[in-house]
Amino acid sequence: MAKEKKLVEAITAMEDDFAQWYTDVVKKAELADYSSVRGCMILRPNGYAIWENIQKVLDAKFKETGVENVAMPMFIPESLLKKEEDHVEGFAPEVAWVTHGGDKELQERLCVRPTSETLFCDFYSRIIQSHRDLPKLYNQWVSVVRWEKTTRPFLRTSEFFWQEGHTAHATAEEAEARTVQMLNMYADFCEQYLAIPVVKGQKTEKEKFAGAHSTYTIEALMHDGKALQSGTSHNFGDGFAKAFDIQYTDKDNKLQYVHQTSWGMSTRIIGAIIMVHGDDSGLVLPPKIAPIQTMIVPIMQKKAGVLEKAEEIRSKLAGSYKVKVDDSDKSPGWKFSEQEVRGIPTRIEIGPKDIEKNQAVIVRRDTREKIIVSLDEIETKLGEVLEQMQSDMFERAKKHLEEHTVEARTWDEFKEHIEKQDGFVKAMWCGETECEEAIKEETTATTRCMPFEQEHLSDVCVHCGKPAKKLVYFGKAY
């Protein structure tokens, strides 16, 4: 028995050390591991399968709106990167350079893409000539490299996986509509599939994407009261188009600049799943995104008929659910622990006594509730349990978000909330970057977003006392 408990004991309690708890879950659930390349992680099968499911759902949603997938080179010539001033300034400090091909020094350095705006712009400048060529709605699923000093699996690694959508439109209105459309798509995806409630809003000038006209974001709140930027959508206006000379002739035969957007969601979101839903026993996966939705665990599997029954149940469920039988020679207790650490939403226990009664036991990962079901009804019952679990997980996360969104009307209140890491702190702000920087300097809190749903808490900025322009969500962030 002592050995069986080891898997769970190896996870540090969340209350004791949240950062260590996170690392333990990543390792014990076998989601990712460190590699020999500094700052780069290995996505293990359990982690990659989650990413594959995220890809599947998002990719289908993108395509429903006319988006097409492409593949761009992973290198960007230095001259191309430098074409848009703000953009290169924003990314230069974390770019990795290729200087040699074999033993020959390259005439021009190549950077390993930190993001691909410049490549898309260069391409668009060549393939867009007429209004008939618009819109262009391209996306790619790739990895990018940003040379990070400190790294944590999923949250911050030098190389990470993501999708980056890049669109070009005839008008500013169309580009704005696409920017908002994609942000809403990310928000709906988080809420409906990942059971993660988000706050939608706009980034401040200081926090917006390098080179963007405006950046919209969805922000999620983790268990420990820190925020995680979970997806962003940028409107570039015609800034990149002017830098890259992307023009088209309109219907009146006049030359016009295109208006562009880009939008991305990355493997960071797996970090959010861990930190929103996980508990002291490990990962808890929302059923809709879980690579395995139920693990069948045979009890006393050596007894005649048990494994056969487990297999019979599996094949009955396999048409509707992602299901597996754990028929390894580990003890049931060990199998339970493994299923819990890995966050598999449900397990089905089936032993000789159950078979006698024509029943099985469904156990929910989140509440550990045991539900005895007749084998005749197991298919519909499992569906109900998974659906209930999905919605309960969202409601719990939503309650946590609501309870950890606080208001600050005075600077003292503000500092106290941030120090205690109470969650999102709503406060009024003057709109000035200097003031925003001072707030960060004094408290380490950053502006997470100016929510689309604005409120009026007071007439003055919480920090400097000047007239307030916007309500802002502040917080400590990953």
Pattern 362-391, Zn ion, x by CB under 5 A:
------------------------------
Q: By three-state DSSP, how is residue 57 classified?
A: helix
Cβ neighbours for 20, distance < 8 A, ≥ 6 positions apart: 12
Binding region for Zn ion (CB under 5 A) out of 105-113, 156-164, 171-179, 459-467: 459-467
Q: How many residues form the binding site for Zn ion (CB under 5 A)?
A: 5
* 461 belongs to the binding site for Zn ion (CB under 5 A): yes
CB of 393 to Zn ion, least distance (A): 38
Q: How far apart are CA 188 and CA 265, in angstroms?
A: 13
Residue among 181, 184, 209, 212 nearest 198 (CA): 184
Binding region for Zn ion (CB under 5 A) out of 221-229, 259-267, 428-436, 447-455: 428-436
Out of 49, 57, 406, 464, the only residue in the binding site for Zn ion (CB under 5 A) is 464
CB of 432 to Zn ion, least distance (A): 6
* 457 belongs to the binding site for Zn ion (CB under 5 A): no
Q: How far apart are CA 3 and CA 333, in angstroms?
A: 10
Structure tokens at 425: 């702190």
Q: How far apart are CA 358 and CA 376, in angstroms?
A: 8
Q: By three-state DSSP, how is residue 96 classified?
A: strand
Q: How far apart are CA 136 and CA 132, in angstroms?
A: 10
CB of 415 to Zn ion, least distance (A): 14
Q: How far apart are CA 469 and CA 452, in angstroms?
A: 14
CB of 412 to Zn ion, least distance (A): 15
In whole angstroms, how far apart are CA 285 and each of 72, 176, 219, 344, 394? 33, 34, 19, 6, 11
Binding region for Zn ion (CB under 5 A) out of 51-59, 276-284, 296-304, 426-434: 426-434
Out of 463, 471, 474, 478, the only residue in the binding site for Zn ion (CB under 5 A) is 463
Out of 435, 457, 460, 477, the only residue in the binding site for Zn ion (CB under 5 A) is 435
- For residue 252, the tally of other CB atoms under 10 A from its CB is 7
CB of 297 to Zn ion, least distance (A): 57
CB of 89 to Zn ion, least distance (A): 25
Q: By three-state DSSP, how is residue 198 classified?
A: coil
Mark 125-159 as b/e (b = at least 16 C-beta within 10 Å).
Answer: beebeebeebbbbbbbbebbbbebeebbbbbbbbb
Binding region for Zn ion (CB under 5 A) out of 156-164, 182-190, 334-342, 457-465: 457-465
CB of 163 to Zn ion, least distance (A): 36
Q: Which is nearer to Zn ion, 369 or 434 (CB)?
A: 434
Residue among 319, 299, 318 nearest 309 (CA): 299
Q: Which is nearer to Zn ion, 180 or 435 (CB)?
A: 435
CB of 476 to Zn ion, least distance (A): 19
Q: How far apart are CA 255 and CA 239, in angstroms?
A: 16
> Tokens 């969202």 sit at which residue?
394
Out of 50, 265, 275, 430, the only residue in the binding site for Zn ion (CB under 5 A) is 430
* 14 belongs to the binding site for Zn ion (CB under 5 A): no
CB of 205 to Zn ion, least distance (A): 13
Pattern 133-172, Zn ion, x by CB under 5 A:
----------------------------------------
Pairing of strands 227-237, 259-266: antiparallel
Binding region for Zn ion (CB under 5 A) out of 65-73, 309-317, 328-336, 435-443: 435-443
Binding region for Zn ion (CB under 5 A) out of 145-153, 233-241, 334-342, 456-464: 456-464
By the criterion CB under 5 A, which residues form the site for Zn ion?
430, 435, 461, 463-464
